[in-house]
Structure 1
């Protein structure tokens, strides 16, 4: 599977200005768009905006030689930003996606996210209630597969995730969930599944059309 040689943009999580990915999430549509992408001394940075069921959220994303990381620890935390909950990040470690050179079968990486969540105004939850949770994830690249989703057929890398969610207190017992993510070069995430259930399926990829400059008109020669 050919991929870009440089660390940034990362082909498996492209920070590309104006890129918009539309997914089916259950009976709803979810969009993730990238904007405000600029170069830094380490690579690239930009904003990931999420829209789901009329709610929106955003987080910063950074691409460096170590991989892609976001202010909310990856896809799961980014989706929390559109949940309607007030999200406070206590700590975030590791990358969401490593450099392309490490996205090979057998490769693995870990990340961790600790957050405090407060219900929105008007919620049925008690006022002032704070939920403190920690998510520890270990991801392993299984191999390449050809995957068909609403947006088409892609050659993608299948990654197994083992995510343990627990309350952020000493001695709290965690619950582990196994899921799978498929990454297509140049697009990013095209599918997420837990067991036999498809959680996310890519429906459409929108990229801004490059503005082509009109050819310069030749100057008319003036005879003396």
Structure 2
């Protein structure tokens, strides 16, 4: 009789205490995602997900449960916005960032939605201006691929995201964007691309010393730990 896999930690978005992922964002910027303060809760585990980009930092709570991984800022988009320098207020958030690992199979679909109010910092030219935006996303698992990034070569799950961004007002027309994201088991996000451009590419994986003995992806990636 097969033993059911525990839902947490989720291998495609591991909330591992002390895990730090360094990416190249765009052409030259460096972005880091790190998890801290991970503790067990009745539903699974929770921790703090922090992002740093161009000297700015944002953070949000993240939770892993039997329903998948979700964050207080509604996913990767909201977390990145928190490091943009804008003041971000979440109006509503539904759905998960990543479903349970058993659902990460070709053809699987999940949806999430995030509505936010963003306000430029006081030092901006238009302080006090409020931008209300809603992001509706549908994610579909395409299949498995072997992907080479700066951190090494990984066997990853490729997911297509169709995101519609629109002003949060009745009748507002949305702008639809298709992108792809690759998740490697035990690591998480290793690449994000829109069209022909790579938005995020994993450069380095840092883990606590106690966890480095466990295999992460492959030999090339391990050498960079």
> Normalization by structure 1: what TM-score?
0.91
Match of 2:138 in 1: 138
Match of 1:216 in 2: none
Measured after TM superposition, the shift of residue 64 of structure 1 is 0.2
Is 2:95 the counterpart of 1:112?
no
Measured after TM superposition, the shift of residue 121 of structure 1 is 1.8
Match of 1:87 in 2: 88
> Normalization by structure 2: what TM-score?
0.91
Distance 2:141 2:116 in 1: 26
Distance 2:156 2:6 in 1: 19
1:170 is paired with a residue whose SS is coil
Write out aligned runs for 1:55-74 (5 A).
Answer: 55-74=56-75
Match of 1:217 in 2: none
Match of 1:6 in 2: 6
Measured after TM superposition, the shift of residue 122 of structure 1 is 1.1
Match of 1:97 in 2: 98
1:169 is paired with a residue whose SS is coil
Match of 1:219 in 2: none
8 Å CA contact 2:180–2:193 kept in 1: the answer is yes
Match of 1:222 in 2: none
Is 2:6 the counterpart of 1:36?
no
Write out aligned runs for 1:9-24 (5 A).
Answer: 9-24=9-24
1:210 is paired with a residue whose SS is helix
Distance 1:94 1:122 in 2: 34
Cα deviation, 1:91-119, whole Å, max 9, x if unaligned, reads 00000000000000000000000000000
Moved over 6 A (4+): none
Distance 2:127 2:98 in 1: 36
Match of 2:124 in 1: 123
Distance 1:36 1:200 in 2: 25
Aligned residues: 207
Is 2:149 the counterpart of 1:156?
no
Distance 1:5 1:204 in 2: 28
Greater gyration radius: 1
RMSD of Structure 2 on Structure 1 (CA): 1.0
Distance 1:16 1:127 in 2: 38
1:12 is paired with a residue whose SS is coil
Cα deviation, 1:23-48, whole Å, max 9, x if unaligned, reads 00021100000000000000000000
Match of 2:183 in 1: 183
